[in-house]
Every structure is written in C-alpha cells, then in structure tokens.
Structure 1
Amino acid sequence: MARRALLIGSETFGLTGVGNDVDAIDGQLLRRGFGTVRCEADDATRAGILEAYDRLISDTAPGDAVVVYYSGHGGLSHPPAATPTDQPARRWQFIVPFDFHESTESDFRGITAFELSARLAALTAVTRNVVVVLDCCHSAWMSKDPDLRVKSLYRPVYADITEHVARIRRDEHHRPAALGNPDAVRVVACAPDESAYEYTNAHGRRTGILTESLVTALDEAGDLPVTWSTLLTRVRHRVQLLSPNQRPEAEGPFRRRLFDLTEVDPDASLPVLVPGSSVTGRATLPGARLFGVQVGDEFAVLPADALPTDREPLATLTVDRVGATTADGTLALRAGVTALPAGARAHPTLLTAPALPVRVTGPEEHTEGIRRLLEASPLVRPARPDDDPVVVTVHTDGDGRQTIHDRVGPLHDARPAGPAGDRDTLSDLVRIARAQALRGLSDDPRYALLSRVSAEWGTVVDGRAVGQPRTGGRVHVGDHVYVKVRNDGPSTVYVSLLDIGVSAKITLITAMSPSGVELAPGQEYVIGRDDLDFLLEGVPLTWPLEIAGTDPRPETIIVLATSAPQDVSVLAQEGVQREAADGSPLEQTLTQLATGCPRDLGRVRGPAVRYAVQSMTFDLSPALPPAPDDAKFLIDDRPSLSVRTAPRQRSADGPAPASVAVRLTDLVVHRSRALRSADLRLDALVVTGSGGTEPVHRAATARFGNVRDGDRLPLDDLLVYRGPAVDHLDLAVWLSRDRRGAPDLADLLKAELSGVELQDAVTTLLGLTVATPQSAVVAASVGAAGMVVNLAFRTLSRAVGDQVGLYRTSLLHHERFGVGRHPANGHLRAQDFSFAYTVTDVTRRPPESGQPGGAGGLSGVSR
C-alpha cells in the first residue's frame, strides 16, 4: 500500500507565504514516507489543479494513504442582485486557482466546494484512508495585527455560478456529493464564517498559521499513535496564541490515528522510555509537548494494557524538564518493582497549570526582579529558547521602565522601575495568562453535554438584532451588543457567560446566577434584552482607560453550558488563594485557570458534570462607530469594515499609485422599468483620504435622452475622477430619471457645504494631525467617506426622487487602488443594468486637455 500526496499552492492576490507552506508540508510528508506531487505557481490553474486531482484518483489503489493539501485564497460567490420576483441564488464557496483573475461571465475559474467534494467522493471510493488539509478561508475579516494577511479574497465575488455548477454536473456526470465526506479526515483552517491568516514567523518567513502549527504538531507527535483529534488540540492552541480569531477544526472520522484507519478513544497516556538497560531513576516521555506536558506534572506508570483504575501503578514519574518534543523526569518505582515492562505507559495524575511563556528584554540589571517573580509564578514563566510562539514580551528600557507588549503593541504606558513596578507587571501578566487559558477552554469528549445549546451575538441597531460572525467581526466603543443562548436539547442546562475584555479582565456576565442561568428545553436567555417589555436594547461597549493605543484589540465571550449547576465565579475573582481542588473535572479545570493550582485527576468527587463550551471573539476598536449606511446599492463591492479600516499594508504587486483616474467605460440598460423613464441621468461620486488642504471628493453627472431597452449609453469613457489617492478610493454610482431642472450632483453638494453633517465630515478628514496613529487616520477617513456618500444620497433623493443605487466600492492602498479594468473581462450585471469601469495610474502623467488637474474641493462634469 502506497502513501501519496497532492500538494496544491496558489499564491494570488497578495499572499506571499504559499510556497513556504508547500515546502513545509512536503518535507513533513516525505519524512513519513509519502510520495508527493506539487501543483503550484502557474501550474495551479483551474485546469491544472483538476487534472492533478483526477490523476491522483486514477493512480490511487485500494488501501493507499492519501493526502490532499491546499494553501491559498478561498472565496465566496454572492449572486448578482436579484429582481424582486427572482428566487435568491445560492452562495458557493470556492478556492482560488492561479488563473482566477481570467474569469469571465461564461468561464468561472474558481473551483467550487461542489467540485472538490465530488472528487473527494471519487477518491474515497477507491481508498478510505484520505486526509484533506485546507489552509484557506471564505470570510475576510482583517486582523488587528498588521502582520497577519487573511487567506480569503478581500471582497465578495458577484457571480451567479449556479449555471457553472449545473454545467459541470451535466458535462462531467457528477452526482451531488455531500460536503461532509464520512470517509475522509478534513483539517480546516477555520469555520466557514471565520478567517485564516498567514504571518511572518520568528525566522522571518511568511507562512500560513495553520500549516506551520500542523507541521510543528506532527513533528512533536513523531511516530506516536495519536489521533487527529489529539493533534488538532495542540494545533488549535498554537494557532489561537497567534490569532485568537482563528479556530482550526478536524472534521470527519477525527478519532483515527494519523494517516491510518484505526479509530481509538481519546487517550492522554504516553509511552515511557528508560535510558540504558536498567532503571536509572530517570525516564523520558516522547511526544510530551504535543499533550501540553508541563514541569511539575505527575504520571502513574502502568503496563501497556492497564488503566489507573485497574491496579496500583508500577512507578510515579514527576516531570522536571520539557524539551522541544519530549519531557524528562524522575522515576520512583513502587516497592518490589525492579524494572518497567516493555510498552509501559504514563497516565497523568496531577497536572500543573499551563504557564504562559513571557520574553523579557532589556538590561540585565533592570530585569532581574521581574525574572525572579516569573520563575515563582504558577501561571507565567520566563520564555525558553525553544518556546514558539511567544506572544507576550516585557520590554525594559535603559532606565528600568517596563511595558508589556503583545502582538498588537504596548498594553500600557511605561511604568516606573523598582519592586513595585515589577509586582504590577507580574499582576498584569497573570491576568493575561488567565485570559489566554480561558480562551483555550474547549469541550472534553468524555464529558460532552447531551443537550444541544446554540449561541449567537451581534449588534443592536434601532432595536433590531444584527447578527455578527462567530469570530473576526469588528465593533466600536459605543456600539450596543446582545448575546442569545438557546437550549435546543431535551434536558435542562445551566448557562454561564464570561467576558474576556481587551485588558484581559474576566467578568462573569451572569453574576446574578453564579452557578449558571437555568434553561429548560426550548428556553432562551438574551443579554441586552429587557425581560419586562422584551425590548432589545443591547449592552454598550466601553474601553478601559488603562489600555494604551488606538488599535483594535480582541474581546471574547465564553458560553459555558453545564448539565448541573456549576459555580464559575472563581474565574472572575482577583487574587484567589491557592487551594486544593476537589469536585468535578470541570470544576478542577476552572479552579486551575483561576489560581494556577495543580489539577489532581484522582480527586474527583461526585458525578461528572457534562459541559459544552462556545466562544465568540471580536475586535473592539476604541474609535467611535462609523455612521450607518443610508444608501443601498444593487452591488456593494466593499470589503468588510475590518479590512477597510486596517492599518495600511504594502501591495505584493508593487507600490500603490499616488494619483489615479476613474472612468466609467460602459453601461448597458437592458430594461429601464425600474426608472420608468426614457430620459436617464447617471451620478457618480468618488471620495478618498485627505492628502491636501481640503477633502478629496468629486461628483460627476451625465444625462442621456430617449434611452431604449438594450441601449448602450454613449459614455465616451466618462471621467469621474482624476487626482490623488490616499488610503482608500470610494466610488458610488446612481441611476435616476432625468428630471428637468434638477441640478448636477456637484452643485447639490455645494449647496450643502454649510450643512453641519458635511462640515463634520470635513472636520474629521482635516482634523487628523501627523501625530495620530495611522490606523486611526484610516478609520476616521473611511468613516468620513461614508458620511459624504450618505449626504450625496439624501440630496440626490430630494432632487430627483427615486433612484437606483447601482454600485458601491472601496478600493484600498494594498490593492493599488484597483488599477485596471473592473471587471477584468465582460461586465458587472446588476438587475437591469450591466457596466464596467477602469482605474488608471496617472501619477506621472500631465492633466488631460480640458479636464481638471486636481481634486481638491467639489466639482462635476455633466453631459
């Protein structure tokens, strides 16, 4: 039986670490005896990937072990705006091959989840021993860490590819295949509504966080017969240290051993190796790092087929050193035992808290105090050379002043040197460690809750719930949020909600019921709703004054559902004393998170409490929320707000232009029923960041008479804007009836110059000083652009009545402001209209004859 692997790498749209990903997984699989085939760079086209997959299927024999790996972008197709009578088209997930940019209306170059699942079904029909790894995502939520690049297309793809799928199904005789193949293990970078990232690692290499963490865990596992479930626990822990918003999962038969069909129950025991031919008082635990073994952990050593409940242990092993993949410790044999039998295994009996590694930098004479405190703490410790990643650092300057930094930046202002400062720093580090440990709390299959509990969160706008993704969303100070938990199971559960704030403070939201809010079957509980009149108001978000900086930071809501009342208030207490933990396994886990005391696995009293954990992580920005959008558009092509307001990133395709020209090149009116007129007007507005003495926004209006269905309007490459581009380039286009005497949009906006709202937008754009952090400048500029578009929509509505919002986009700096044709081929279709536009780099070109050479202030063109 052979071992074979297909490794697909598609480095497109700004990703730069895909080649490193493929190299890393290739090396790991070669060491495990796999023969690998690489499909990357310009071989990784749609046709190339599908051909390589088909060849893999034909080469595979029954019983072979097969891996299919993909690193690159994922995407999600949004159907074009439907007419009121149309049925909504399906949204499709897809991966992004190297030639995706060559897609046309009739030739979609993505590869849909349907096509991938159909080929996976064909592969598992030959052999069931298949593993699929997808290091990509389908939702673009920008991280607060500017080094993290999301592995999804930044903006939605407006294409109804239902016909594409139907044609593939018809031409290739594909039967519908379930997306969840029961025969294949699938390792995915995140859930469908989450984002996955690549970053620059400690060695200066760009890499996918999932791929690097997976390769690291496989190295730690070595030849141990561990399951995919166990491996993913370690992978998930490492990924979420780097990116709390990303949660990788193992789907399918994840109880299988690695690259094998054998399924086993979760087992935390480890093999024991004794050096030499006789017992020396020392022993080694291979694979210990994979299981999170810590210094101070104790294990009972038993024969291979025995359990701690079956008999008295042969020996006790106490860990005193943890290496890159193994752990060593002292071995105390029971009286009468002279040697350990072959295959002896170590079962954990006492687990110390997983201490958070902290890197300390600065002059040794100023760091000695904090290092001593770290070494004495049960929850934090000095980082070792082999610790990777280390996400918390204490920076000490030449005067001994200390500042704690995480991946976002400094958490507070520098505090004075000396013992008092050291103690304050330690207190903050312990708070961070407890928060990190609580974020990592996950389900235990041995104590799985039998009732299904669903949870959601979102913002409240005008009394209406607006749902948000489980991870990766962005909210602002002043936003109101709600959390809803519902018991969808057959038995009563007890629900506790905890909030891990941006300062790492842990708050028990359900403090009025410290042991959990009782929910009968079918009952729901909503934070942010008045239970008397059932009005949804939400809870306002605030920013702690002690947290420095203006960058967004992660906040997490933990939903803990238990089968019996369980007091979780210990987690919200400050300065809890260290004491022994008796009670259920869950209670011991919670007490350890709070205090750092060891968890004695042999001191469980009473029936085990079953539980389920759900977490919802979002980025909280200290900036006020942007104004809501008043205008609605048939196509809204803007990336998510988190992407638009992220710190400026460099483009992988070269420097962004300093000046651009935007032209509407083509517009076809298939039917004018929505406007009920043969005389039409087109209004366009461009807004960009403030690079000069006044806001940069320009309006253009064009008029067309006697328009008939099917007419192509004589735009003559209508110049909408020519001028500087800073941070973002927003474009809004409307179509309306051409009412006699109605002013151009530019004149309408001029009349509003004295209005308070536009003045607020102007003040926002201009009032940002050079000392303001760049991320805050971008966020404020994006917010002001939205205000200008809202004002244009309202003034246009008053002047012409009903209009059709045709198109809205925001082209960003790292996209080189969209230089090129949009779409690259064909037209964008929105209900009864098709159109195209271009963005041209005019940085070094002189102004065209008869056209304005600058962009300051408001102006318009009319036809």
Structure 2
Amino acid sequence: MWGYDMTLRAVLIGAQTFGLTGVHTDVEVMHKVLGKHGFTDIRAHVEKEASYGGITKALRELCRDTRRGDGVVVYFSGHGSLRGDLQYLVPFDFDESTPADFRGFLAAELTAVVRVLTRITSNVTCVLDCCHSGGAVREAAGEPGRWRLKSVAPADVAHDDGLARAAALARRNAPLVPHVVRLAACQQHGSAFEAEVRPGAGRQGVFTAALAGVLDTPAARQVPWSALITRVRDRVKQQHMLQWPDAGGPSGRLPFSLEERSEPERLPLVRRDGRFVVPGGALFGLHRQDSVRMVFPHDDPWREPTDREPGEREDTTVRATVDTMEGGDAVLRTEPEAGPGTDAASDAPAGEASLPAGLFTAELPPGSYALPLRVHDRRFVYVDGDGTLADALRRRLADCPRLAGAHDGQLFATVLLRNGTATVLNRDALPFREPLQANPSQISRITGLLEDLARGDRVRALCAPEGPARLAAEAECRFEIEAPANSGIWRPMARVGELLYEGDRYRVTVTNHSDEPLYFWVLGVGLSGRTALVTNDQPGGYRIEPHGASHRTTRTTKPIRITWPGDVPRLGPRRETVHLLVGDRTMDLNVLTSVGPRRSADVTDPALMPLLHEVWEAFRDQTLEGGDQFHYRVHTVQADALPRPRETGARIR
C-alpha cells in the first residue's frame, strides 16, 4: 500500500488533572482506533508518564526512533491553558511548578519536537483535545454536571521559568513547519469539553469520541481529513457542545498518509428555519436556479444497526435548486424525484414530500453536504484536436458542473492535443502546466486539471458583493510588499499591476474598527492557477476582536513568499491574485482550494504561522453554526509574477 518500508508510530499522552475523569478513556479509544489503521508502534503515557519530564522523554524517544517514510501521530488529551502570550499543555505534575521550574509543556516546545519530526518524515499528524480559554475548571452553565471544560489556568502557579523558556525558544526568522496535519478540538480561546457522550459509558473527550467514531467507519481510509472533520464537527454539534473542531495544514490528505485524491466539491449544508441552506453559497459560486445534489450519510457509528438494517445503508441523495440568496447564503428548494410514491398533495414544500421524515429535523445526519450539479458560472473549454480521445474529452466536459465545451467566444482554456500530449493553454496561449500524456486513461486527469483551474479562475474573480450579502462592519485592510527583498522594510502594494518577482514577500494586516468581532481569510490564486487558503492553519477564519478590546483588534500575517512551481513552464508574466476576505462569522473555506496531488505550492509554506501558533491558534473562537446570514467583503490585489528574482538595486515601482 505504501510503496516503501515504513512504520506507523504514535505517542498518546493523557494528563488527567484538575477534575478531568475521561482522559484515560480518550487514550484507550485512540489506541484501539490507531491499531485498526495499521499503527504497530503505539506508546501510551498516562499518570506519572504524562508529567512534564515524561512528555519530554516520550517525544524525544519518538524523534529518535522515527525513520524516513514513517507515519507519525502526536496526540494529547487533557487541559490546555493560555496566560497572556504563554501557551502550554498541562502535564500531570503541573501543580508542582515553582518560579524556577515551570511544569507547563510550552507550545514552543511542541513546535521544536514537530520540527524535528518533519525533517525526518513528511507524514506527521498532531491531534490536540484540549483548550486554553484561560478560566478555572468549572461546570458549564445550563446543564450542571454534564459538561466539563478541558481548560485551566491556575492563578497560583508561578510561570517565570516558562516565560524564560519561551523567550529562549523564540527565533525571529525560524522556518515554518510544513507537512503537519493539525486536528484541533475547538476554536481559539474557545472550549473543549469532556462528557458522557453515550449513556453509561463514562466521561471522555467529546472531540476524541467523535474523531474515533469517524475513523472507525469503513469509508474513513478513503476520505480526506477535510471531509472527515465535517463529520466530526457534526457529531460534536449533536452533543449540544459549542465546539468547532477543525483540520489545518495539508488536510486534503487521506488519514495518516501522504496520499491526496481528487474529491467531489463538497459544499456545507445546514438546516435553518425548516429549509436546507448552503452557508456562504455566494462564495462557492452558487446563484439562483443553480442545481445541487444534497447527500445525507447513513454511517453513524454511534447508531446500533437494527434487524431491518443488517448491513451499512447507502447514502440518501436529493436533488435541489437554489431558490433564493439570503445574504451570502444559498437557500435550496428540493426537486421532486420521478417515480411512484410522490405525493403532490402533501403539505410539505414543493418536491419535499418524498424525503425521509428525519431530514426535516433541525439536525441533519452527521456529514451531510451538497454537490454542485449545474451552475450558472461555467468556464468554456475548447478541445483542439480530432479523433476518439478528443470526442471522449468533449463528452466528459459536458458532465462537469463548472465546465462546458465551446469553439469560440470567451474561452477560459484550450486543450491542445498534439503528438500524444495534451497541453492546457490559458487565455494568453501560455501553458498552465507541463504537458500531460494524451490517451484514454488520462481523460480523468485532464478534466480534473481543468476543474481545478476553473475553480481558481472563479476564485480569482471574487469581488465584494452588493446588497444584503455585503458586510456593513468597518475593517481597515493593508497589503504590503517587502522592498528591498529581505530588508524588513515594507511598503504598500498596488492593488492592480504590481510586479512580483520570484522570492518576493508580501503580508496582509487587518484592523477591526467595528463594534463586533470579525473573521478574515487570505486566499491566493497563484501563477499556476492553483487556489490556496493561505491562512490554512485556521480554515474557519482568523478572529479580530471588536474595536476597543484589550487585544487582537489588529492582526498581521507572517510574510508569504512568491515561488515559481516546478510544473509550470517559466514563461510569463503570470497573474497572481491575493484576496483578503472579511466576514462576520466563521466559515470553513477549504472547499475553495485546489484539490488532488500537488507537486509544489505557490507559496513556500502556505501556513502563515510556525507551529507554535498553528497548533494553538487552531483553537478558535466560538460561534454557532447555522445562525445568522453570512456577510462579507473582498479586498484584492491583482499582480503579475515574473519567473526571475528581483534584481539587486532594481527600481521599485
């Protein structure tokens, strides 16, 4: 399966402290699930082995024993804390801390360990079931005794030594840590909980229970993290917990591997006021009268099968049309399915009479999503060639929801079939990528490339909406480029016509001038046509606190470097687009990014923070999914990238 001699290794750490009672169960459950996924070296550390020294030793030994090509998991269950800028996990012996011996395991120390691991193997997954909301351990309001917060910040624990260690580990220009899939239990400054997730089963981490349940399904091995995390999130939501689990880093990978597969374009789906809604549908290219297919899974591992359901049931699918746009959200109207059993006289909305009754509840089956079938915003492709391959490619284009065959007009791309190769050309007749082989077995690869490029072209055209979807709140946005290169001197970027050279760096700053919290994302459509969520360490958005708050009212990304991908001919200039999107609630924008295998990226490391921030800032702020309408604005830089470094002393425009 893997193609090389490798071992799957895991270190599972469970620090059951300050009132938690389900941590050991978390470790046992993860041990069992990872064993089913082929892990043969699983090292569990609880009680005294989860002390500060025990955690340090366990991770040092993992680094020592890991070999090139191995798959590695680092898992922690317990309390997490944040004191000012000091972020740390809470080991078993945390309460033995002294001013000269702080026993919190710093995020910076975790960063250093993971950096070592990624130098050995690219297959690293970090799972944290904890939070750092900064409050003392307490019962959650509303239902005493059921929920328990997994965060703690004891005021009487001295942390002088922790501050000194953090300062010593900080490196101004430390390289980013790539290749790490980050699975987080909750949002930044939010809360992770443990609870009795099943009657009589005892407490355990709500996130761990949901994650283990999803991974224990037969389909899990063939579904990427980005899709699995939506099912985890839905299961957590069904426990009535205000958590937002997320997957950062290269979340398009299949679990515990480096493999990435092209997946259908899964759009989020919620039930709101008795209607099916695609939140953020405008961002995903939906408009009135577009068609989608809603998919309702039936593989909930927590549901016991009945005698009438001896095996795994197939998913239910229902066709729907975008009826209206409310804010940036698409409200769907289901279409009647042909055949017997359709009751046109039903009191249900048009076309919904034949749907299973359970789909009218407020909570959809975990992992429900929508697939675009036919959209108004299609990209036209001309196939320049003759013969059976050209005809087959034209037929395949007719089945793609965002593509259409054409001979003239506003062409998006041309597929040139010559001498056994297929070259996809852009509007300027420049090849998007290096040529592909032209034979029947490559049709899916060619259309997959076209769909990926069409997604990028659609994202490139994003602009601020007018009308109800427009964000009214005020935010100041600033794009800057470093000039001269590596000088630390930054100047404003031109919004149109800026020339970018290989090796240039830019950054984005957002300041919230409104009285409400806002979220922002940076989307890049690179010179290769690929789309990247540059803020991929927080797919749900970076939170910016309201004007007048004590912290985080302004946030600046780490510098993003322009590189020329190895599979793009060095011909130019090429268009480089940077979108800063500001919205009023969290939204997972991973669906906008390029899918399938990537040989290189359009930025050196798409993540904006070193793992020191990436791991911890995956714990993002709480919002209720499926609440108010989504409103947003888009701020854009349209630049031209050249395939050479900026000359020393060259005049800056």
Settle same-fold status: TM greater than 0.5.
Answer: no
Rg comparison, structure with higher value: 1
Q: Per the shorter chain, which TM-score range?
A: 0.3 to 0.5
TM-score (norm 2): 0.44
TM-score (norm 1): 0.34
Question: Which protein has greater RCO, CA pairs closer than 8 Å, 6+ apart?
Answer: 2
